[in-house]
Chain A
Amino acid sequence: MGKNDSTRLHFHRRELLIGAAYLTLGLSKAHATVIVDHLPWAPNAGNPPTSALPGPWMFFTGDEGRAIEALADCIIPPDPQTPGGKDSGSAVFIDRQLAGPYGRQYGLYVRPPFMKGTRSQGHQSEKGPAEEYREGLAALDRTCRAKFGGKAFAELSDPDKDTVLKGLESGELSPDGADGKAFLAMVIKDVQMGFFADPIYGGNRDMVAWKMIGYPGSRYNYLDWVSRHNERFPLPPVSMTGRAEWTPQTR
């Protein structure tokens, strides 16, 4: 039988009375491999997401971070009711995503040869999001410096920033000859994704985006609301890490 034979029990600590479960000690998942007689089980099972911790950039350089924060605030400008992309953490979100498996194209098919396909054949580049951001942000700043007297994107005035974005969007501006439209579309997608994702990933700090739209978050039971039509749902949003009300408010 293979290495992962869980049909023998290991008694590493003889004083422990083991319940009717197939286990080897120290596992945090419901370990299987051979399933026979009963459903697999382990205590503390599960694989919750890892929290994006605050702190310095894990992927971006200082310049890239500034550029991304500026982009985030253009895409989602701050207003009196709701913070913008920067303060709500979209740049942090993107940074943590790029530093992780997403940035590395983890799990994707990355075997060569890489050939240019038709539009309907999807992403065929060897470059993953990490490289695309690196190159795209560098090209953006180079283009801005050339057009705006040596200023990087983050240093431009707000109207000038918007002009640059509109130029990318229309195709008029193509930094270093690369596809500015595709780059902008990617940044918009990721900034907005960070804005609406669970705060555990670094964006949507304090659920500001969910409060903005009236989304109640990671709730699970709406049985008492299905048939209440056209009424405002009154409960505040909750994220995977809970909400403030979960902790007893003692004076």
Chain B
Amino acid sequence: MRSNSRYFFAGVGIALFLAGSAAAGDSDPQEFTQIERGRYLAILSDCASCHTVPGSNQPFAGGRAIETPFGSIVAPNITPDPETGIGGWSDDDFDAAIRKGLRRNGSRLYPAMPYTAYTKMSRDDVQAIRAYLNTVTPVHNDVVANTLPFPFNIRASLRVWNALYFIEGDYKPDARKSAAWNRGAYLVDGPGHCGACHTPKTLLGGDRTDQYLRGGFLQGWSAPDITGDTRVGVGDWSVEDLVAYLKTGHNRVSAATGPMAEVVTLSTEQMTNSDLNAIAAYLKSLPGKQDHPQALPKENPAMVAGAAIYRDQCSACHGLDGKGVAKLFPSIADSPMVKSDDPTTSIRIVVRGARSVGTRAEPTAPGMPSYGRQLDDTQIAAVLTYMRNSWGAAAAPVGADDVARVRSDAALRPD
């Protein structure tokens, strides 16, 4: 009996740990605790980011176009409207969508809806989200969801894709690791679905699991490595640095911009400190690839030109020592993003400028001006090469053709 109790309580403990409070069962519109839990889980899962049109006051009403390598998909209406939303769905329908990738008629959802990550949530979690969504204002908004070009519009092809890339099932804690680590892993791989952006994809759009969280490319941005790699990941950041970044959008090194700015305001800014600490601890525990490239010598022509541009222009904000000003101008000297293998984001920021995120704790939202007109491709490549190889850092040089490619790709983007 005693041993059974121990397992029972451990099981409950893990369930409690995963769910945050007592599990309920099916969604109950009157159950405040469940609705609150669901609201928080919806924040963790960042549902609003895809299902709400930015700037609209109609949360979850769908209609936002999501760019994928295969074309665009429009996120559906998940308000409880009975005709155009999910008001008419059963709890089982909802659970099958989130955790199995199945639509009500049995056809498959595109993995732009990250069911491959959400599968890690428990049924109780998903019911809580349902309970919360049931309380959201119903909006009549008929969204046409199937907008991918042929042959991707054939959902049946997803059977093959799922066979390759979808591993169904709740999160299984690693008993050798701490509760906090497991919580972090659950958050990152489950509702947080960080890998959707930060893990590179195969040609078919599935995760390259051997490069787990080592950086990805999407929607014209490069998402950086977020493993514990000390050169290009978060290995040199303290847990406090990471928590500050997620909670406020800024830390002593870097600032969130582009799609990550939205992740901060809609999701991570509203996470509890203990969850943020868990995510930080987990990410830092992941071993990085720990490459050791050779730094370019100072006499290299690109380095010399880059040093001149840096001194004359960039140092105005980022400082003569590359360290910037904490929470105002990122520290180029300390930034892992600057040394990323994929320099797309750095190039974008220099060419087009960028606005960093403004949050309650850090409202300044400083902006980087656009240099795309003053500097040509060769010059931008030179100054980025210089920044990647100075102040003790080393990374592959950036070429003028890289810059040209990003310039033309981003040219028609509005962000």
Chain A residues within CB distance 8 Å of chain B = 7, 9, 11, 13-23, 25, 38-39, 41-46, 48, 218-221, 223-224, 235, 238, 240-243, 245-250
Interchain Cβ contacts under 8 Å between A and B, 8 examples = A9-B56, A13-B412, A16-B415, A21-B54, A242-B312, A245-B305, A246-B312, A249-B305
Q: Tell me if A43 and B55 are in contact (CB < 8 A).
A: no
Contact of A246 among B219, B320, B379 (CB under 8 A): B379
Q: Tell me if A246 and B67 are in contact (CB < 8 A).
A: no
Q: In the assembly, what is the distance between CA of A11 and CA of B62, in Å?
A: 14
Q: Tell me if A19 and B67 are in contact (CB < 8 A).
A: no
Q: List chain B residues, Cβ under 8 A from A15.
A: 65, 67, 71-72
B400 to chain A, nearest CB (A): 9
B106 to chain A, nearest CB (A): 27
Q: Which of B358-415 contact A (CB under 8 A)?
A: 358, 365, 367, 369-370, 372-375, 378-379, 382, 410, 412-415
Contact of B316 among A43, A220, A241, A242 (CB under 8 A): A220
Q: Interface size (B, Cβ < 8 Å)?
A: 54
Give the interface SS of chain A, mostly helix, strand, loop or mixed: loop
Given A20-B261, A220-B313, A221-B319, output 5 extra A-B contacts at Cβ < 8 Å: A17-B259, A38-B358, A45-B353, A46-B369, A240-B374
Q: In the assembly, what is the distance between CA of A39 and CA of B356, in Å?
A: 11
Residue among A23, A42, A44 with the highest chain B CB neighbour number at 10 A: A44
Q: Tell me if B308 and A246 are in contact (CB < 8 A).
A: yes
Are A44 and B309 CB-contacts (below 8 A) given A9-B54, A15-B67, A249-B301?
no
Contact of A248 among B66, B302, B369, B373 (CB under 8 A): B302
Q: List chain A residues, Cβ under 8 A from B367.
A: 39, 41
> Is B74 interfacial (CB 8 A cutoff)?
yes
Contact of B358 among A11, A17, A39, A223 (CB under 8 A): A39
Q: Tell me if B370 and A18 are in contact (CB < 8 A).
A: no
B314 to chain A, nearest CB (A): 9
> Is B262 interfacial (CB 8 A cutoff)?
yes
> Is B103 interfacial (CB 8 A cutoff)?
no
Chain B residues within CB distance 8 Å of chain A = 53-56, 64-67, 71-72, 74, 147, 219, 258-259, 261-262, 265, 301-302, 304-305, 308-309, 311-313, 315-316, 319-320, 351-355, 357-358, 365, 367, 369-370, 372-375, 378-379, 382, 410, 412-415
Q: List chain B residues, Cβ under 8 A from A11.
A: 65
Q: List chain B residues, Cβ under 8 A from A7.
A: 55
Q: In the assembly, what is the distance between CA of A46 and CA of B413, in Å?
A: 17
Q: Tell me if A243 and B312 are in contact (CB < 8 A).
A: yes
B207 to chain A, nearest CB (A): 20
Q: Tell me if B355 and A39 are in contact (CB < 8 A).
A: yes
| Residue in chain A with minimal CB distance to B313 | A220
Q: Tell me if B308 and A243 are in contact (CB < 8 A).
A: yes
Q: List chain B residues, Cβ under 8 A from A48.
A: 373-374
Q: List chain A residues, Cβ under 8 A from B64.
A: 17
Q: List chain B residues, Cβ under 8 A from A17.
A: 64-67, 219, 259, 415
